[in-house]
Structure formats: C-alpha cells, structure tokens
Amino acid sequence: MRSQLGSFVDGVWLGPVGDQIAKAVNPYTEEPFGVASICSAEEVDVAVRSADRALRNGEWPRTPLDERIAIARRVKAGLAARTEEIATLTTSSMGMLYRRALTLGRADELIDMYVDMAHRLSWSYVRSSGDAGALISRRPVGVVAAIVPWNSPIRSAVKKVIPAIIAGCTVVLKPAPETPFEAGVLGEVCRDAGLPPGVLNVVPGDATTGMALVSHRLVRAIVFTGSSAAGSKIWELAAPDFKRLQLELGGKSAAIVLDDVDMGETISHLARGIFTNAGQQCVATSRILAPKARYDEVVAGMVDAAQSLRTGDPFDPSTTLGPLVSERQRTRVLAYIEAGRSEGASIATGGRAPKNETHGWFVEPTVFANVDNAMRIAQEEIFGPVACVIPYDSVAEAVTIANGSDYGLAGAVYSADPMRALRVAQTIEAGVVAINGQALPASAPFGGLKRSGIGREHGIEGYDGFLEYVSYPMPRAMAEELSACPPTSRSS
C-alpha cells in the first residue's frame, strides 16, 4: 500500500516526494501514516500540458467509443481487485467505517451507469428546416480539472474521471490533502486498464495547488465537489477564460416529517440521513422539520437513535460512529454546537467530545431541540453529526422553512401516503428531494440549486459538462442523405 505520493503524469510517478508535503493523519489513532506532495504551480503546469498533448496530439479523442468504454470496464475490474487496499486507505485517512469503505462508494454501479448512458447518448444526429440541414455532433470539451473532496474520495473521483474519459476528454485530478492516496490508486488502475499516458494525471496538493489548476489557460472545464466558498472562488478564476463549470457544493438539507408517518421507520431514515459518515455528507438531512403535534416524538426518537450509536475504532465491526476527519473539523463542529447553545437551542443529547474515548477526533451524535430556522446551526453547513429539530404548525410553514436557506442540494419528505409526500416534495427548492428516504438511483441527475452549485452529475445529464455541440450546416438534401445513412465516426 503506497504511503508516499508524488504527482502522476504520463502514466508514471514523478518524485520522490519533495520538501512541500502534507502528512496524512489517521483520525482515530491521531498518528501519521503517509505523506503526499503539495504540487506547485510548476508541477501543475507539467500535468496540464501532458493532458493537453494527449488531447491534441494523441489518439484519445478519436478512439472509438467502444474502446473507451472497454477501458472503463477494465477500470471497474481493477478497482474491485484493489477493494481492500482502497478501503483501508479511506478508513485510515478520514475515519470512514471500514465496512462502509469496502463498498467503494458503489463506484462499480457508477461505472456501469456511465457505460449504459454512453450507449444511450446521441453523439451525432441530423436536423433540417427550410432548405437547410445540419449535422450536429457532440465533441469532448478538452482538458478537465477534476477536484474531489475527502468525505468520499474514490466515489467522487470515479464520477468525475469516468464520464470525462468516456467522452474523450483528458483529466488532471486533484484529490483532497486529507485523502490523496485513493486518487493514486485510481491513476494506476487506469494506466493498467490501458488508458494512454497523459489522459489521466494526478496532482496531490492543497488549495494553492487547486487554484493553479483551475486557473491554467489550457484547462477548458472544471468539475468540483466542495464548499460553496471554494466554489465561488473557482467561478471567479474560471470567468476570464469562460471555462465550463460543474460545481457540487454545500448543503443544509431539510427533511419534512408529515403528521401521518410511521415514526419508527421514519426515525431510522432520519438517523441515517444525518449520522452516516459522522455527518460528513453534503446531502446530510441536518434540518428535521417536525409537526408540533408530534414534535416530542421526533426529538425522542432522534435522541434514542443517537444514543444507540457506538464510537470507536472504525475498523471494528461493532463501531457505528467513526471520528471526524481532522482535529480542525472537530473544533469547527464543537464551535457550532456552542453557537447553537448560545443562541437558545436545547441540546437533547450529545454536544461534546465523548469522555470514553482517549484518542480520536470524535464528536458525540448531537440532537438540538427548540431550534429556530434563523439560527446559525440551522443556516450554516456544520458537516458533523449534528441534527436540528425544528417545529412547524402547517405544511405550508414547513415548506417555507425548508426553502428558507441559501442552499438547495437535497431534502426529503416523509408520509404514510407517498403521493402526498411527492406533492410536498415538488414544492421544495432543491436538486434532489427523496420520498420517504428513498436513495437516488445512479441514473438520475444529481446536483443543487442556489448556493449548492450548478450542473449535474450522474445519468445522461452527467455527460453535459464534458461535451460541446458542433453544428455542420449543409444543404437539406445532403442532410437527408446523411440521416438515411449516417456517417461512421471513430468517436461515436
């Protein structure tokens, strides 16, 4: 298992790791277990130029679609063969429960879905009107900068890299400094699967590395998952060159509990929605909106669910709540808890670092009651195991509260009547609103509204950020001839 990581360019590792390094620290043991380069602007330039050469001078954009898909399938097999290694890296670097890390974020399902969508996508077609016609083709946008977060490192990398390379783009991937090694494994797997040199390059580093990447003149598209503040900065840097943007940003998702729910089943869904991955999920339903008639039931149910969780070694199968990714993140979450207390919310359970743990960056699963939607804990993304239970009088008020946020990434509505839940869900300002906690299928587009970002991942829509339309006007008779007997294309 690789414990040192330099940049990965043209299919080879460049190194050794230099003076500018970041230590990967195990959030449970609090001990370092590896180091990775913090790539400089010069190293980023080398990687981007490698990707540009592979795009302009190589065969990749002109490689038949079936061959690109075959490589994607081999990548899937390569990741499966290294599942335990990748899971160990993820658990060691960010504290994800090992049994969850072993799923690799269902990266295999994502690859299957993108392959299926590639077969369904119209890569070229003919349109006519009046005396004129046109051949319309979709072509790769160019060099893609892909920047992924630490909370689901291999899944985030796969859902950016795979559609980009199937589309014929080349990629420079920057992992988060907390979880750099999974990207290194992906680079090796792609190389071993037959991806030509330069089509995927990896530059570990910090925010400075990322800014150098997104502002590089040869980068034509940026796909990013992270905070809204970082997304705004990326937008600013991308503007002078009109780069294509796909930004999946923060969230403060609301779960509306209607008055007719089966409380036991609903609490189970709500607890998973906020406590999975120690609350370190952009889609976490951290605002729970409960009708006043059943408010005490919701609070009591969430308290029971929180108190049933067991902190400990994330490699231990009996552990149900792992540590936060870093000491800085724990300090941040505890500061939000103190802010909630000072603003008048009541801590129903949790609210501190657990006393039974002698090490590890844990925060107790915390449930706030008597929360007003104007409070900071209800408006700002905490990214920890902190649930805010907010009362409402009417469904109309619940919708107003749910939409009273700068974010619009996800949400949920719970009801014994799924159609009633759907009607309420359709009034929520968010990119994904689940009915009774149903998970989003991989084939459905995923992304947010408002400060939660722009663009979509997954599904056919997930290719939009990697493709440009090109129109070839021609006489109508020629267009009709092409329509009857479409020309062959190496990229379609």
**Which residue numbers are catalytic?**
248, 282
DSSP per-residue string spanning 113-155: HHHHHHHHS--EEEEEETTEEEEEEEEE--EEEEE--SSSHHH
Q: From CA 118, how far away is CA 214, in angstroms rounded?
A: 26
Strand residue runs (E) in 130-235: 132-140, 143-147, 170-174, 200-202, 219-225
Burial annotation 16-47 (CB, 10 A radius, 16+ → b, else e): ebeeebbebbbbbeeeebbbbbbbbeebbbbb
Asked whether the beta carbons of 323 and 314 are under 8 A apart, the reply is: yes
The distance from CA 331 to its chain's CA centroid, rounded to whole angstroms, is: 23
Are the C-beta atoms of residues 66 and 46 closer than 8 Å to each other?
A: no
Q: How many CB atoms lie within 10 A of CB 296?
A: 13
> Which residue pairs, CB below 8 angstroms and at least 24 apart, start in 125-128?
126/479, 126/480, 126/482, 126/483, 126/486, 127/479, 128/476, 128/479, 128/480, 128/483
- Tokens 């309420």: give the residue: 424
Interhelix angle 207-214/228-238, nearest 10 degrees: 30
Is 253 within 8 Å of 411 (Cβ atoms)? Answer: yes
Nearest CA-CA partner of 362 in 382, 385, 388, 383? 385
Q: Between helices 181-192 and 83-94, what is the axis angle to 10°?
A: 160
Q: How far apart are CA 156 and CA 169, in angstroms?
A: 17
